Structure 1
Amino acid sequence: MKKILVVDDDVDILNLMFHYLKGDGHEVVIVPDGEQAMERLQMAQFDLVITDILMPGINGIDLTCKIIQAFPDMKVLVVSEGGNSDAKEIVAAIVLNKAVSFGALRALMKPFTKDELLEVVKKVLEGKLDEAEEIKPIRKKA
């Protein structure tokens, strides 16, 4: 069983990811912001952090940088909303790729399915990402 910290300001997304990951056998801790995430990381050891990008206070990119600085071996997965337009999806893809360039191992665009989340989490935890996957955000097909 792996211990996963999930960070998102959207309570519905937090609860959804909690249930998906818990149902897959993981120990899951959820927090609504980057400040609480850093506090939790100081108090306990985690195998993976999943963080949203767009959050008040410490955003997901800054949080990723702080995590990698403080815990160089920490695995980080970033998620972000794609939006309903091509422009929003392009911006989201750029932001997600930026997070990967700052140390996140993978980027996942919302909305995603349970299977998509669990597949990416498994690959990240097992270290089974190839270079192309590491820099390519995945997006739910319409």
Structure 2
Amino acid sequence: MESATIAPAVRVLIVEDGEDQRFLMQRYFELAGCEVTAVETAEAALETMPTQDPDLVMTDLILPGMNGWELAERIQSGWPDCVVVSSSVLEAARHPPLAARLMKPVSRADVRSLLEKLVPRWAA
């Protein structure tokens, strides 16, 4: 009998300064079977990147200190295999050109759809 190989969980880094929004996003990704790290600032995200090595980063655009646009650029140049997604209340035209963008409020279905489209090894 062959043993099934279980793929490691998709690693997600959430960058969101709003506590309620951060908790909600973290919960949605956890319910989708992901390993989640959540931080409040872009600076904390950059400190976390080397040790967490996320498959996907979901970042708010309006953050204290470094904003989400600059964070996305830094992640894309330093970790080109990492998928970066913006999440904001700003209209879509004001989001940076990334793999995807989610308009707030984000739903659990939005998160599952995002994973299905952008992280091929994720299984529902």
TM-score above 0.5, yes or no = yes
Shift of 1:32: 0.3
Shift of 1:70: 0.8
Large movers: runs of 4+ above 3 Å: none
Query: Are 2:13 and 1:13 aligned?
Result: no
The partner residue of 2:85 within 71, 77, 90 is 77
Matched residue count: 113
Kept in 1, the 8 Å contact 2:16–2:39? The answer is yes
Match of 1:122 in 2: 116
Shift of 1:117: 2.0
Match of 1:93 in 2: 92
Shift of 1:46: 1.0
Match of 1:40 in 2: 48
Alpha-carbon distance between aligned partners in 2 of 1:73 and 1:53, rounded to the nearest angstrom: 20
Instruction: State the one-letter code of the partner of 1:125.
Output: V
**Other structure's SS at 1:9 match:** coil
Structure 2: gaps (5+ residues): 1-8
TM, length-normalised to structure 2: 0.85
Query: Are 2:100 and 1:106 aligned?
Result: yes
Shift of 1:118: 1.7
Kept in 1, the 8 Å contact 2:55–2:81? The answer is no
**Other structure's SS at 2:87 match:** strand
TM, length-normalised to structure 1: 0.75
Q: Which has the higher contact order (CA 8 A, sep 6+)?
A: 2
Alpha-carbon distance between aligned partners in 1 of 2:60 and 2:120, rounded to the nearest angstrom: 21
Kept in 1, the 8 Å contact 2:60–2:68? The answer is yes
Structure 1: gaps (5+ residues): 83-91, 128-142
Alpha-carbon distance between aligned partners in 2 of 1:65 and 1:2, rounded to the nearest angstrom: 22
User: Which structure features the higher share of helix residues?
Assistant: 1
Percent identity reads 31
